[in-house]
Structure 1
Amino acid sequence: MARRTAILNNKGGVGKTAVAMRLAEALARRGRRVLYVEVDAQGNATRRFGVRWFEGMQTVNEAVRADTVGIVRKSIHPIGWREEYADRISLVPAWLELDDRIMEAGIPGSHLRLVKGLQGADDDFDETILDCPPSLSHLTQLALAASHQAIAVTEAEQDSIRGARRVLEFIAQKSYALHNEDLKVTGVIVTRMDTTRSVDRSQLTSAREIFGDLLWDPVIPRLNVFKELDTNGSPITRATGEKAGAARASFELLADTFEKRSLTV
């Protein structure tokens, strides 16, 4: 079984998907086999990985709806990048219909459907990254129930930090209800940090006080190159400009921290 990591925040727009994707990419560059499961109906990672929807495409929606052991295998697709390491990243895509699964929240045991679907499906991978929607509702609970660890992503901004705190509180108080009492928050990643802004520096100090040793280094800087990569759906190895090296280095260092601080499965 792969090590399964849910990446989330209760607030949207904090750069969660960008961090999840670039972390997956950095791990793949190190030879790790990564299954990226998009559990967010926005489908941003699906587009950025260069995967296009087609009629009859099996996505995470169909896997969850089927409620069948190992069914996620049928929803695993290669990504569209052409880098030499791209064949070590596979994607379970998401599409708008995934939101239909929210209405199943009241069905007993429905939060375990992704657990069941992943059973045996990610055995050939080293890492499974579960990219959660910006909430703590049913879709996120599907991912948390299936995960070994959770990582919160936040900006150095008050509302984002509050969203990350809610993640920690929810997992501490509700993991038993997800039938996953061993679930741990192993890290908090600060992204889009602008060290030239005094408010960012102040909020980072607050984040360190709140999260303590859970806050990981490095802090990911705010760089225009990241926005360009996300817009174009490009791998970080295609980054250009004077900040391209800094962008790649930040996620290589983050991959170091991930490997040192993650739970052993």
Structure 2
Amino acid sequence: MFIVSVCSLKGGVGKTSVTLGLASAALHQEVNTLVIDLDPQGDSTLGLLGEPASTVDIAEVLSSPRTETIDRSILPTPWSAGAASHLDMIPGSSRSSVMDSPAPNAKDVRRLHEALDKRTHQYDLVLIDCPPSLNGLTQMALAASDRALVVAEPGFFAVTAADRALKLATEMHDAGTAPRLQPLGLVVNRYRPRSVEHQYRLAELRDLFGDTVLEPVIEERVGLQQAQGGAVPLHRYEGASGKRLTQDFDALLQTVLESRQHS
């Protein structure tokens, strides 16, 4: 089971959009996938279920990381109805915010890792949608993960935010808190190719981070928001920008899966 945290230092960069785009690509490519909504805002839950969950959620899993709890929390998503592979999720909850301490203790940081070790369901890929901070919940995700995928937008604060997120992943690995964790790279999202500012910031990111900046860059297209608003997989979206977006997320998923070979 290959676990990838999708994280960012700040909100508004489209972290959930990237998570759901990858989930859609995984379903399309018949990769059995579990999405964990660790963001108290619950946007991935809305995108995958179409409504807030009323069942066991991630807050209960973290409070009681037992086999029974985590197995009961896993829900099949409407996206995967009739599909050849599974796309399941553990829904988010605003109640998880009480665990988002700026300085979590070592026992708390390992809660998600312990919970995932106890699940009986089998998956090829786990995507964790983290909160837009580097506090306790994100650290729990990173401690359980094999890779950290950092999402940034091509803006003024992107360099500092990306640098801090990538450094946290390295620090947690070196400290032994996240022994399997490696930085996967930086996804630049919401890129507008005609914007001179975006061109400059993308060049700046590539200059500073080199090959850590992953391809493809995800352009800002209305199709991504429309697909999410309709709670449908991007690969079933019929809008004008759908084909280009699906190609980009298919390519990004391949980069994610191929990184497993570089452990």
> What TM-score does the superposition give when structure 1 sets the normalisation length?
0.91
**In angstroms, what is the RMSD of aligned CA positions?**
2.2
Q: Does 1:12 align with 2:14?
A: no
Q: Does 1:195 align with 2:190?
A: no
Amino acid of the residue matched to residue 19 of structure 1?
A: V
What's the offset of the Cα at 1:238? 3.2
The worse-fitting range, judged by mean Cα deviation, of 110-119 and 66-75 is 66-75
Amino acid of the residue matched to residue 161 of structure 1?
A: V
Gapped runs of 5+ residues in structure 1?
Answer: none
Encode CA deviations 1:110-152: one digit per residue, 9 max, x unaligned. Answer: 1111111111416510001111000010011110111011110
Matches within 5 A, 1:103-122: 106-121=104-119
The worse-fitting range, judged by mean Cα deviation, of 125-134 and 43-52 is 43-52
Closer, same or farther: CA 220–53 of 1 in aligned 2, 3 Å: closer
Closer, same or farther: CA 53–156 of 1 in aligned 2, 3 Å: closer
What's the offset of the Cα at 1:253? 1.7
Which secondary structure state, in structure 1, belongs to the residue aligned with residue 199 of structure 2?
helix
Q: Report the count of equivalent residues.
A: 263
Amino acid of the residue matched to residue 240 of structure 1?
A: E
Closer, same or farther: CA 54–231 of 1 in aligned 2, 3 Å: closer
Encode CA deviations 1:243-263: one digit per residue, 9 max, x unaligned. Answer: 221121111121222222345
Closer, same or farther: CA 84–207 of 1 in aligned 2, 3 Å: farther
**Pick aligned residue for 2:135 from 134, 137, 154:** 137
Q: Percent identity?
A: 25
Corresponding residue of 1:249: 247
In the alignment, is the contact (CA less than 8 A) between 2:131 and 2:137 conserved in 1? yes
Corresponding residue of 1:40: 39
What's the offset of the Cα at 1:184? 0.8
Q: Does 1:160 align with 2:158?
A: yes
In the alignment, is the contact (CA less than 8 A) between 1:68 and 1:113 conserved in 2? no
**Pick aligned residue for 2:59 from 61, 80, 95:** 61
Corresponding residue of 1:224: 222
Corresponding residue of 1:28: 27
Partners in 2 of 1:218 and 1:170 — Cα distance? 24
Encode CA deviations 1:135-174: one digit per residue, 9 max, x unaligned. Answer: 0100111101110111101111121332111111112223
Encode CA deviations 1:93-126: one digit per residue, 9 max, x unaligned. Answer: 0111111223696555111111111114165100
Which secondary structure state, in structure 2, belongs to the residue aligned with residue 109 of structure 1?
helix
Gapped runs of 5+ residues in structure 2?
Answer: none
In the alignment, is the contact (CA less than 8 A) between 1:112 and 1:146 conserved in 2? yes
Amino acid of the residue matched to residue 250 of structure 1?
A: D
Encode CA deviations 1:158-207: one digit per residue, 9 max, x unaligned. Answer: 21332111111112223345622331101111111111111111111111
Partners in 2 of 1:165 and 1:192 — Cα distance? 19
Encode CA deviations 1:58-98: one digit per residue, 9 max, x unaligned. Answer: 00100000133574222100112365438510000011111
In the alignment, is the contact (CA less than 8 A) between 1:186 and 1:263 conserved in 2? no
What's the offset of the Cα at 1:52? 3.4
In the alignment, is the contact (CA less than 8 A) between 1:10 and 1:164 conserved in 2? yes
Which secondary structure state, in structure 2, belongs to the residue aligned with residue 187 of structure 1?
strand
The worse-fitting range, judged by mean Cα deviation, of 93-102 and 144-153 is 93-102
